[in-house]
Structures are given as C-alpha cells and as structure tokens.
Amino acid sequence: MMGVRVRVEGVVQGVGFRPFVHGLATRLGLAGRVGNDAHGVFVELEGGRDQIGEFLVRLECDAPPLASIERVTVTSTPHVTRAGGRFRIVESDPSGTSRTLVSPDIATCADCLAELADPADRRYRYPFVNCVNCGPRLTIVRAMPYDRPLTTMAGFEMCGDCRAEFHDPADRRFHAQPICCPACGPTLSLMGVAGDPLTGAAEVLRAGGVLAVKGIGGYHLAVLASDESAAAELRRRKRRADKPFAVMVADLDEARRLCEVDGVDAIGAALLADRARPIVLLPRLPEAAVAGAVAPGERYLGLMLPYTPLHHLLLTAVGAPIVLTSGNGSDEPIAYDDRDALDRLGGIADAFLTHDRPIHLRADDSVVRPFRGRGMILRRSRGHAPRPFTLPYEAPRHILGCGAELKSTFCLGKGRHAFVSPHIGDLENYETLRSYVEGIEHFAALFGVRPEVVAYDPHPEYLSTKHALDLPDVEVTAVQHHHAHIASCLADNGEHGRVIGVAFDGLGYGLDGTLWGGEFLLADLVSFERAGHLAPVPMPGGSAAIRQPWRMAAAYLEGDGAALDVARRHERWWASVNSLMRGAPVTSSAGRLFDAVAALLGVRDTITYEGQAAIELERLADPAERAAYPAAVSDDLVVAGADLVRAAAADLVAGVEPAVISARFHNGVSEVVVRCCHVLRDATGLATVALSGGVFQNVLLLGRTVERLSGAGFRVLTHAGVPANDGGISLGQVAVAAARDRLRSYGDQSSAGFS
C-alpha cells in the first residue's frame, strides 16, 4: 500500500475530469478523493503500487476528450485519505476555480450514440443528445463564464431529470451546460411540413431535392451524393462552378466504399473518426457511387462522418451518402442565423430541416489531408477552434493578429496562448467583413483579451490592414506576409528559429512594393532577411493574370511557342504579350509559376476558385515519374522559374505525356528548393528548413521536398495544426508580435536569445 498526491494542470475543469478520475480510481480499487482548485484538478490516492501506476498511465492516455493536460505532478505521501477505502469527488471551493476555457465543438460520443439507439433510453432518437464529453460548445457561447445562461441554451429550462444529472458528480452530464432531453430541450422541424421531420427530410432527398440542414456552426445544403441531376442542380443554384462538394457518409464502412481510406498513409480512418470530424481528402475509388457533379474531374473526395445526433439520424433515414456543403451562395460566408438562412438559402433549398437552438458563432467544417502518417490541416474551423496554440514566447501584452485577405482568420495572443478564429473566408464582401469584425470582439470578450499590440500585413489594399490601422489606442506592428508564413510554421511547431524559411504561395506584398511569393528567407520570430527568390515575372493584365493562368504561360515564355496549344487558344493576344508586359506588375510568386505550367499543359486556362490550376496540376502528375527539370540559380540566389516552363514546353512539343511533364515540373521545383537550401546552409550553418505558404499544401511537392531535404540531413518543419495557406497568417503575426514585444520589454538582456 502507498499514497500519492497528483496535481493535473491544463484545460481540466468543466470537461468531465472529476467523474473520469472517479470512475478510473473506483475501477482500479483505489481509495481517495478528487477535486477542483485554482490550479486545476487535485487527486489523492491510496492503494497498491501497480494500481497507482496504472492509474497514472490511464490518467493521461484515457483523459476525457475535451481535456487538454499541460502538466501532471506526482508526490508521495504516507497517509493521504481517511476515506475508509472509498473514492469520492469533493466539492470545489468556489473561490478556488480557475477560468474555464471554452472548448471546440465535439462530435457525438459513443455513450450518447448508444443512448440515441436505445429504445429504452429517455433520449432515444433525440437529435440533440449531448454530454460533458461531446456536443456544441464554441458555437453556442454568447459570453463568459461558460455557463448555461450565457449560452444559446438559456431559453431551455432543464427538466427535473436533466437537473438531477447536471448536479450529480458521478454522472457524465455533471455540469454539461448544453444538457437537454425531449422533455426540455430543442425541437426538430421540417419547416412548413407536418409529420416526422426526418422521414420528410429523407423523402425530399430521395426525390432529388435540395435540403437545407441546420448544423453546429451553420446551415448546410444536402442532396443525395449519387444523384447526378440533384448535384448538378445544387451547383447551378449555388452558382458554384467547379469547387468540389464534401460528402457525408454514415460510417467508416461506407467511407471505404467511396475512397481509399486505408492507403499509403494509413491514417484515413483515424482522421475521419477524429472527434473534430473534419472533411478528409481521400483518393476516390473508380467504382464509387458518387455523381460526377459532386467533384468534377477530381481524383480525391472530401469525406466526413456524422458529428451531430441529427446527422446520425438523417444518414440512417436516408440510407445513403449525402452531399453536405456550406449553406451559402458563391463567395458568401456560411449562413447560421435562422432568418438570414431563409433569406439567402430560400432560393436554393427545397426544404429546411431546422431547430430552435440558436447558433451564436459561425464555424465552417475543418478540412484535413493525410500527409506522411498524420493530418495536415487545410482549413481550421469547427472542432479545432478555439483550442489555443502555445506560443514559443510569452506575450508581455495582449495581441491581435489581423490575418491577411483570402481564407482569412484572426488570432488573439495572451500570455503563452494564441487563439486562432475559425476560418472566416475571403474578406472581399460586406457580409464577410462584418463577420470578421464581430468575431474579433466576441473572441476578445470570451478570452479576456484587450489588444494593446496589433499585428497586420503591410499590403495596403487588404481590408484586414485597413481594420488594423483604424483601431484607436493600439501599437501597430507590420509583419511582412512571407515572414508571417514562416513564423506560423515555427509557432505550429513550437519553435522560434532562426531557420531557412521557404515561403511559396500565391501573392503577398513584398518589402520592395512588388508581389512576392517564391521566397527564401532567413528568419526568426523577430525579423527576417530575403535571401533568395524566384525571378520576378510580369503579370500581364495585372490581377486578370490571377484568374487567367494562360496569361502567366505567355509571360513565362515571353510570347514564344506560338505552335503550342495554349498559344493557339489565345492567338492574337499571345503575339502581343511582350508589349502588354511592359509596365505590368511583377511577381516572384510560386503560385503563378504553377499556373503557367497548368495552362501550358491544357489543365486550365481560367480558374473559378483560388489555387484551382495548381491543384489540378498536382492531380494530373504521374507519381511514379522521378525525373526533374533543371532550373538555373544565380549567385544571389535568384531561381530561373522560366527554365522549368521552357523544359515543360519542350517536352510537350516532343510528345511527352502531360502527366509525366507535370511530375517532372514538381520534381524540378523541389530539387531547386533543396539546392537553394544547401547554399544557405553552407553560408549560414542553419540546418533547419521551415516550409510554408499555400503552394506547400500540394502533397506531391511537399512530399518530394521533405524527402530530399531529410535525405540531405536537414531538419524540416511543416504545418500540422494551422494551414500553410493564408489561414495561418494570423498566428504567425501574433508569434512575431509577441517576440518583438518581449524584446522591447526585456531589452538587450534577452536579445541574445534571438540571434
């Protein structure tokens, strides 16, 4: 027999930690007690050495889903309990509880699913069943502290049964703020239709209709995934040309009938079943029964599993996979307010499956892609936000990072925590901008942040920049776009540099006023120098060249190659490109280089969403091809991207397959990146490389580059928790602002730490 005291720190209050400890200790036959105090959770234990050992292992491995343990301290004591062999939960000292962090919204847990399916349970088939381990969180919180009256559940008074569970420390609904049941909670309805809403909704889908479904962070639009005309009609009504729709499947078996779930990375199933329930991009099976209009021409499908009880019930009622795409028209943010949804989706949906629990905060689905045995996040939103990142440095003052323009997010920094907002979208219309400004205020109130330092992107035209510069009584700090990318990769990995940073993206405002995007930086969190870049190329027609990749092909070939198909398709224009390029803005963007090759190969002349040409070029590539096009690198590390385009054009003329050309181009880019890293390592001694920017969401390019760099002895940092694209910029800005503020407040004394 022995006794120990255990202290657990982190996000451990309000997440079912005490009932979990109670159950674990009781199962192991341990005596003692557990309670909350100002530091987190304390446990006192008495029992056999083996049982205590197992307790300590399971405490961390089996912790409740919403808990996030930062530290466990164990001390031994001779006599701890006078519990008479029992284990109990003790009342908290109200003054001793710490501020509870709001957790992300979490998919329905196994216990709640069992109740949902049990005819004897009082929550049988109840679409809003939840407990302390699952259910809505961030999206229903109106204000802090996180208590029911300050959530959108305030209007639902608990019945006697729910109240009893809520107050029973041994119950898994102990202090579950959104607790409810058929007697006291929200009600499902199929708007304007009598009878069972789920049966009615399933009929709408089976008849080829478009169904709006109210979810956790907003409305979705659904059609049967196998129904070609319904999917095409949804595309037409949404005015969405090509961007793929996500598909929800009932379970992993159904996922395996549509996609290669257990492929090379072998983590497809784990990513799908993750409690954040993201959309997971997986290789589509040729025989998958999914309409062509769901993801036109795609080799990948975005799949997700049900994450609310309503989804589970709907999928069962329909008995087949459904398209589940954000409820919005093209370029608008997802609708979440009931009246607004009716207004905006009324012309798109044939019926509304809805309920009376309001959504307070909009949150789209998150998107991940398997990469080298783990998930690489492409869009971070529902299920992840607002779980904080830990900054490499403590921020002396509160910070706001305003993000960029496309795929925008904002981030609040406080102490060592950085809270990144859910994905907001492109800040180009009033609706999105309003959502951005309101979101900042809401987050600031939730996390008790009053920004004194505001970090922003120096691009003069970004609405986020204008927002930053309009804020009264704050200190502003400009963080160059690609420095922010590398900083976000550092923060994503808990590092502070100095590193070789490779930032490849669409476009970002450079220090010289031109548009950058193929950058080699030497960077830490405070500052950077531009050590190399792709050779700048004119963008004929300015921003038109972004929407029309064929213009970049002409620019890279300087009007040569009149016999190429792409030149023939734009004959008159092609001939005069050299004069059009005079005075055009120049860019070193890697994204535009990918665009040029995509247009050259006939993949895409014009795009309907950002990054489309590069995404389709990646999809085209033959992964078995290992040859690489060469590109010259000058002494001052300027890379001749045009060499790659010209080599591709020569192969095309020689009759080489476009799939092979695409692969050789990808390999060529990765080879020249590695060559530049070699040069920089020789010059500086730095051997860590951070890869960031939206171009590195290309798994073929990223994989080949990581392989080559690792093979050459580099340590490589890539993104995992925050997107490599502009969705990660706000975190990078906060990390930089925190490091600069720390330098400012501690002066020379600690500046050595940055060199």
Q: Give, as ranges, the residues between 708 and 727 that touch Zn ion (CB under 5 A).
A: none
Q: Measured from the CB of residue 544, what is the shortest distance to Zn ion in angstroms?
A: 51
Alpha-carbon distance 139 to 152, whole Å?
Answer: 9
Is residue 669 within the footprint of Zn ion (CB under 5 A)?
A: no
Alpha-carbon distance 305 to 312, whole Å?
Answer: 9
Alpha-carbon distance 214 to 359, whole Å?
Answer: 9
**Nearest CB to Zn ion, comparing residues 179 and 691:** 179
Q: Measured from the CB of residue 91, what is the shortest distance to Zn ion in angstroms?
A: 24
Is residue 153 within the footprint of Zn ion (CB under 5 A)?
A: no
Q: Measured from the CB of residue 274, what is the shortest distance to Zn ion in angstroms?
A: 16
Q: Measured from the CB of residue 723, what is the shortest distance to Zn ion in angstroms?
A: 29
Q: Measured from the CB of residue 141, what is the shortest distance to Zn ion in angstroms?
A: 18
Choices 12-20, 153-161, 706-714, 733-741; region in contact with Zn ion by CB under 5 A: 153-161
**Nearest CB to Zn ion, comparing residues 133 and 548:** 133
Amino acid at position 309, single letter: P
Asked whether the beta carbons of 27 and 57 are under 8 A apart, the reply is no
Q: If DSSP states are collapsed to H, E and C, what string results for 692-739?
A: ECHHHHCHHHHHHHHHHHHHCCCEEECCCCCCCCHHHHHHHHHHHHHH
Beta-carbon contacts of 625 under 8 Å, excluding residues fewer than 6 positions away, are 659, 660, 663, 664, 667
Amino acid at position 238, single letter: K
Q: Give, as ranges, the residues between 402 and 431 that touch Zn ion (CB under 5 A).
A: none
What CA dihedral angle connects 41, 42, 46 and 50, to 10 degrees? 50
Choices 174-182, 198-206, 495-503, 664-672; region in contact with Zn ion by CB under 5 A: 174-182
Asked whether the beta carbons of 284 and 300 are under 8 A apart, the reply is yes
**Nearest CB to Zn ion, comparing residues 133 and 692:** 133
Q: Measured from the CB of residue 171, what is the shortest distance to Zn ion in angstroms?
A: 12
Amino acid at position 342, single letter: L
Q: Give, as ranges, the residues between 179 and 198 that touch Zn ion (CB under 5 A).
A: 181, 183-184
Strand partners, 478: 456
Q: Measured from the CB of residue 159, what is the shortest distance to Zn ion in angstroms?
A: 4
Asked whether the beta carbons of 323 and 352 are under 8 A apart, the reply is no
Asked whether the beta carbons of 387 and 106 are under 8 A apart, the reply is no
Alpha-carbon distance 377 to 666, whole Å?
Answer: 21
Q: Measured from the CB of residue 113, what is the shortest distance to Zn ion in angstroms?
A: 8
Is residue 271 within the footprint of Zn ion (CB under 5 A)?
A: no
**Nearest CB to Zn ion, comparing residues 40 and 309:** 309
**Nearest CB to Zn ion, comparing residues 109 and 427:** 109
**Nearest CB to Zn ion, comparing residues 276 and 449:** 276
Question: Considering only residues 159, 193, 232, 586, which one is a binding residue for Zn ion as defined by CB under 5 A?
Answer: 159
Choices 178-186, 431-439, 540-548, 700-708; region in contact with Zn ion by CB under 5 A: 178-186
Helices (H), 262-413: 268-273, 309-318, 338-345
Is residue 484 within the footprint of Zn ion (CB under 5 A)?
A: no
**Nearest CB to Zn ion, comparing residues 159 and 252:** 159
**Nearest CB to Zn ion, comparing residues 109 and 454:** 109
Q: Give, as ranges, the residues between 99 and 138 that touch Zn ion (CB under 5 A).
A: 109, 112, 131, 133-134
**Nearest CB to Zn ion, comparing residues 153 and 567:** 153
Residues contacting Zn ion: total by CB under 5 A: 10
Q: Are strands 374-379 and 528-534 parallel, antiparallel or unpaired?
A: unpaired
Q: Measured from the CB of residue 68, what is the shortest distance to Zn ion in angstroms?
A: 18
Asked whether the beta carbons of 360 and 142 are under 8 A apart, the reply is yes
Question: Considering only residues 31, 80, 153, 162, which one is a binding residue for Zn ion as defined by CB under 5 A?
Answer: 162
Instruction: Count the residues in the chain.
Output: 755
Whether the ω angle into residue 145 lies within 30 degrees of 0, i.e. cis, is: yes
Amino acid at position 448, single letter: G
Residues at the contact surface with Zn ion, assessed by CB under 5 A:
109, 112, 131, 133-134, 159, 162, 181, 183-184
